[in-house]
Chains A and B, each alone.
Chain A
């Protein structure tokens, strides 16, 4: 470390023909990927009335329960809303396909058999492919042509722990950690270009592949509304919640006149 002179001299050609091209190619591929993903995205599927009704039925009871502890609604009206919802959930009136015909326990819906769910999963797979394939190609390209290249020297000293991060592909125990190998430069770009993409393409771009790596194509399908959920089961559970909420229920109008009188000093404060 104390050697006064630079122990390694890099050909400027390496800078011009390896360092810059790798960076440029990665930026361009990212931008290209952004537009390909935009092309691949299909418009969200239109849901039918009954499907929306099924999806939103739960929010009704959630809204009712949210204020149950000091509800703005007088008791008879609360009871009627709550009773109506409980009965509807029990009989399955909000289910898309109408109330279940018989009492046989249904198997949970298989995502492979539902075409709507398959669509969502295929879309996830497609974008995933657009993410993965170019990265694999670039990595192959770098490995094939520039394996073992030292591309750049960082302008600041680093500890030895960074050696495996910055000098991937070069097996030298003695080289200064500040030298960066071609493969490591690729990884640095891979994780570091997101800020640049955000500058070029706006905030929610599809160019950053490191984000996409985290998500699996199947996990993506899980949160989309296209995923079949067993609403019958959810409704049955919600019915119990409604019964609990009814136990908690108090009307905000109980004793409200006394609170007012206390506020204005007509009754002694507690």
Chain B
């Protein structure tokens, strides 16, 4: 009785991980290998078994347990011979233990037959990046994105590669595509703003930090962020994850805004993107507001760093 109960509980947890694509590899592997040991999962789980096997496979690779990974992979490739999705898993398995050259060759062979296999193509690009062939990776990634424009994560990856090579203006232009693809997502806006800040395009960063705050606090009344924190734990748990994330992100954006206004007020900076610089009066007001907002966040909780922040803001 209890074993079936734990089994169903474990399966429920795993299904939950799958739905939210949580990467809790240790936990998945522990639960998954227990279910594998219990007997034939494909008989018990029905059609869910295949998704389960894939999940356990990836977790096993993540943790480095090749044996269990092989077991899952065998079951999957027996069930779906010639499936491209299993091909990708087989490729991951090769990557785990063989040299990158062999994995590259494996992917090349698949791409020769089916040149538009997006998943394989992306894995190939990831190997190229991992082995240091940045130039080739960028080239391939650009070609990939020219074909599959909608792939948001690939644009982020491209921006990341550019940033790692200090090519901030190129990073900005690839991030602009992520903004187009997900205009309501404040995280990409924040990344854009921070990249612009790093590229020393302070007026642009100033604007984008403001946009980010506007998106993140879209549904909140002014000052509501702080109030919801003050109401205590019970309420905070009721608030769903997104709103909590919104708090963190807008705090970070206020910090960024403060940094920008400080620079804009102290030095005359130019904008490579010809972004108009707001009037000095406006900047001063924004500076005041940003200081207030950051202070408000740090006054309501007695977290660490409070003194440092106050000192940095010049309000001890």
* Chain A residues near B (Cβ < 8 Å): 46-49, 51-53, 56, 59-60, 63-64, 67, 71-78, 80-81, 252-253, 256-261, 263-267
Is chain A's interface secondary structure helix, strand, loop, or mixed overall?
Answer: helix
* Chain B residues near A (Cβ < 8 Å): 114-116, 146-150, 172-173, 176-177, 179-181, 183, 189, 204, 206-208, 210-211, 213-214, 217, 222-223, 273-275, 278, 282-283, 285-286, 288-289, 293
Is chain B's interface secondary structure helix, strand, loop, or mixed overall?
Answer: helix
Contact of A72 with B179 at beta-carbon distance under 8 Å, contacts A253-B210, A257-B210 already known: yes
Across-interface contacts of B114 in A (CB, < 8 A) = 46
**Which of the residues B148, B150, B273, B286 comes within 8 Å of A261, measured between beta carbons?**
B286
Q: Roughly how many angstroms separate A55 CA and B204 CA in the complex, as a whole number?
A: 34
Across-interface contacts of A56 in B (CB, < 8 A) = 147-150
Contact of A81 with B176 at beta-carbon distance under 8 Å, contacts A53-B147, A59-B149 already known: yes
Q: Are B115 and A260 in contact (CB under 8 A)?
A: no
CB distance from A175 to the nearest CB of B (A): 52
CB distance from A253 to the nearest CB of B (A): 4
Sample of 17 more A-B contacts, CB < 8 Å, known A46-B116, A256-B207: A53-B147, A56-B150, A59-B150, A63-B149, A64-B180, A72-B179, A74-B204, A74-B208, A74-B273, A76-B273, A77-B173, A78-B176, A80-B173, A81-B180, A257-B210, A257-B278, A265-B222
Q: Roughly how many angstroms separate A77 CA and B177 CA in the complex, as a whole number?
A: 9
CB distance from A61 to the nearest CB of B (A): 10
Q: Are B149 and A60 in contact (CB under 8 A)?
A: yes
Q: Roughly how many angstroms separate A76 CA and B181 CA in the complex, as a whole number?
A: 18
Q: Are B282 and A263 in contact (CB under 8 A)?
A: no
Contact of A63 with B180 at beta-carbon distance under 8 Å, contacts A47-B116, A56-B149 already known: yes
Contact of A266 with B289 at beta-carbon distance under 8 Å, contacts A67-B183, A74-B176, A74-B275 already known: yes
CB distance from B259 to the nearest CB of A (A): 15
Across-interface contacts of B223 in A (CB, < 8 A) = 264
A-B contact pairs, 9 of them (CB 8 A): A46-B116, A47-B116, A51-B116, A63-B181, A72-B180, A76-B274, A253-B208, A260-B210, A264-B222
CB closest residue in chain B, given A264: B222
**Which of the residues A52, A73, A81, A259 comes within 8 Å of B147, measured between beta carbons?**
A52
Across-interface contacts of A253 in B (CB, < 8 A) = 207-208, 210-211, 275
Q: Roughly how many angstroms separate A263 CA and B207 CA in the complex, as a whole number?
A: 16
Q: Are B222 and A73 in contact (CB under 8 A)?
A: no
Across-interface contacts of B288 in A (CB, < 8 A) = 266
CB distance from A9 to the nearest CB of B (A): 52
Across-interface contacts of A75 in B (CB, < 8 A) = 273-274
Q: Are B207 and A257 in contact (CB under 8 A)?
A: yes
